[in-house]
Amino acid sequence: MKAVMLPAFYQLFDYVKPKTICEIGTHDAKSAIQFIDYCVKINPKLRYYGFDIFDAVKNDKKFHEVEINGKGAGKYSTAKNNLEHRRRKYKKFNFELHQGYTKDTLKESSYDFVYIDGGHSYETVKHDYNKVKKSKVIVFDDYQTDGVKQFVDELVVNNSLPEVPWQECFNYEKTCYAFLPQTSRHLQVVVFYR
């Protein structure tokens, strides 16, 4: 993740104080280690749950086109090594890494913080959200892509979610959403559940 985007995530982490993080779209775990390095200071017993298709679709151009996967396939071995390094560094930290399609690997569960950045088709985003919708805070990456935008807009309308300015969302008393402050065209939407 670009350094310019991290301060907003740090604000989120300070607010949520996560004990559990779920990342859908782990890729090589570069964002994961940025999240972990910050969050273990808040909760040394942090647990990270990572989900990705990884190498299974390495050469499947059709899959990458449908899911709008610009980075290509991540490597399971690279992600695992990055996370193992963090486990050795932070003795109380632990993780689970799941390889495969989220329709097979992602079970219904709740987390303190969820980052949805896996497949970007409407169907995949909807599926992934429905498995983690009982979580405290959910960030949808790549809102500018058609499938993510379609699903998030539908979620907002169907649940009458108010959009709240970034600095106000932390004190807002009801479920709401906000856009992460950023300077690029890369849009991220955060839903706060209360």
Give the model confidence (pLDDT) of 17-28 as tens digits: 999 999 999 999
Give the model confidence (pLDDT) of 3-19 as tens digits: 888 999 999 999 999 99
Q: Domain locations in the chain?
A: 3-192
Is the separation of the CB atoms in 27 and 51 below 8 Å?
no
**Against a cut of 0.75, is the pTM above it?**
yes
CA–CA separation, 110 and 37 (whole Å) = 22
Is the separation of the CB atoms in 99 and 54 below 8 Å?
yes
Nearest to 71 by CA among 1, 133, 161: 1
- The CA-to-CA distance between both ends of the chain, in Å, stands at 27
Specify the pLDDT at position 69. 65
Is the separation of the CB atoms in 183 and 4 below 8 Å?
yes
140, 141, 144, 149 alpha-carbon torsion, rounded to 10°: -20
CB atoms within 10 A of CB 112: 19
CATH superfamily assigned to domain 3-192: Vaccinia Virus protein VP39 (3.40.50.150)
Give the model confidence (pLDDT) of 142-153 as tens digits: 899 999 999 999
